[in-house]
Amino acid sequence: MKRRILVLMGGVSRERDVSLVSGAAVCEALVAAGHELRSFDVSRDVGALVREIESYAPEIVFNSLHGRYGEDGCIQGVLELMGVAYTHSGVRASAIAMDKPTTKRAVEQAGLRTPRGKVVRREDFAHGDPLPRPFIVKPVAEGSTIGIRVVGEGANRSWGDDWNFGETALVEEYIRGRELTVGIMGERALAVTEIKFTGDMFDYTAKYTAGHAEHVLPAPLPQPVYDAAMDAALTAHRVLGCAGISRSDFRYDDRRPGADGLYFLEINTQPGFTPLSLVPEQARHLGIEFGQLCEWLVERAQCHA
């Protein structure tokens, strides 16, 4: 069925550039499928968005925003108030998933293993290391590994002096091992990808710069570990109440027996969405082309209230 669709892209988060690429890919796929389409670059002018929706009257909004104000429940709340069906997760799931400490508590209660960690206030940064080194410092509400830093044995004691991601940070033990990710499509875990990269972590540069990372699909893992990662991603998706697609990231310490070395890191409710992105890559591995994946999301767009 052909629809009148408004694609939201760009936005005001630190992931604006990634969102523009995702949005352009989605627009191309939906136009090729014959949909009536308009794109909108979201700004802080909420009134402009409201006027665009009122004038265009889309049947569906395809949310291609990434990061704060687009992936954290803010835009979803506007769309709910206006009664417009939209893709991906609703307000509650989006807000919880963007908040790393809240996600951490939710999945731990569901039985998933996460790195040992705690929330530290900026004023306490200078009082010494909050955990034994090495440890990782993360913004509590950013995506695409923005702001994440590894504090190793030889790092300067003033590791928090240039912190500009709010008044708190999530500090976690550094898990040595392999980077894994699992995409979810509805109630289906797609596959496990291992991401190989140089350095201590799969950071923003490694994610979005050609040649900095290699995707190994399917990940070469013992079957029990592969299955455990698939199950854990689906559990996180369900516990948070996600809809459409999500992607969960893990670290796997293969020095530990079986799946004991598998640690949940975070969940993305609107992961990168180009034909070369991780979730579309996993879908294609299963015979689902990018255009089909976009259509699948359009067909399941809804108001979540």
Per the annotation, the verdict on 156 as an active-site residue is no
Per the annotation, the verdict on 268 as an active-site residue is yes
- Judge contact between 189 and 250, C-beta under 8 A: no
How much is the pTM? 0.90
- Judge contact between 40 and 49, C-beta under 8 A: yes
Q: Within 10 A of 201 (CB to CB), how many other CB atoms are there?
A: 15
* Chain center to CA of 245: 10
User: And the tokens for 136?
Assistant: 């990782």
Strands 188-197 and 36-42: unpaired
Please state the domain extents for the chain. 4-88, 97-113+176-269, 117-173
Quick one: pLDDT at residue 47? Answer: 96
Per the annotation, the verdict on 67 as an active-site residue is no
For 124, phi and psi rounded to 5 degrees? -95, 0
* Chain center to CA of 277: 12
Q: Could you give the angle at the alpha carbon of 122 between the alpha carbons of 116 and 124, nearest 5°?
A: 75
Catalytic residue among 39, 64, 248, 268: 268
Quick one: pLDDT at residue 204? Answer: 46
Quick one: pLDDT at residue 208? Answer: 46
User: And the tokens for 78?
Assistant: 């506007």
| CA nearest neighbour of 199 among 171, 169, 179 | 179
| CA nearest neighbour of 72 among 102, 117, 52 | 102
Q: Within 10 A of 211 (CB to CB), how many other CB atoms are there?
A: 6
CATH class held by domain 97-113+176-269: alpha beta
For residue 58, what are the contacts with CB-CB under 8 A and spacing of at least 6?
Answer: 4, 5, 6, 38, 84
Quick one: pLDDT at residue 161? Answer: 67
Average pLDDT of each block of 10 consecutive residues along the chain (305 residues)?
A: 95 93 96 97 96 97 94 96 97 96 96 95 82 90 75 68 80 94 97 83 49 87 97 98 97 94 96 91 97 97 87
Catalytic residue among 122, 129, 177, 208: 208
Q: Which amino acid is at 272?
A: G
Quick one: pLDDT at residue 305? Answer: 67
Catalytic residue among 142, 172, 179, 249: 249
- Judge contact between 195 and 215, C-beta under 8 A: yes
Per the annotation, the verdict on 144 as an active-site residue is yes
For domain 4-88, say whether CATH 3.40.50.280 is its number.
no
| CA nearest neighbour of 143 among 204, 194, 185 | 204
| CA nearest neighbour of 23 among 192, 259, 274, 213 | 274
Per the annotation, the verdict on 94 as an active-site residue is no
Catalytic residue among 23, 247, 261, 263: 247
- Judge contact between 183 and 282, C-beta under 8 A: yes
User: And the tokens for 2?
Assistant: 């052909």
Quick one: pLDDT at residue 203? Answer: 47
Catalytic residue among 22, 39, 144, 277: 144
Q: Which amino acid is at 191?
A: A
User: Which of helix, strand or coil describes residue 168?
Assistant: strand
Q: What gap in Å lies between CA 105 and CA 102, rounded to an integer?
A: 5
Per the annotation, the verdict on 188 as an active-site residue is no
Catalytic residue among 252, 272, 277, 281: 272
| CA nearest neighbour of 87 among 292, 280, 298, 267 | 298
Quick one: pLDDT at residue 87? Answer: 98
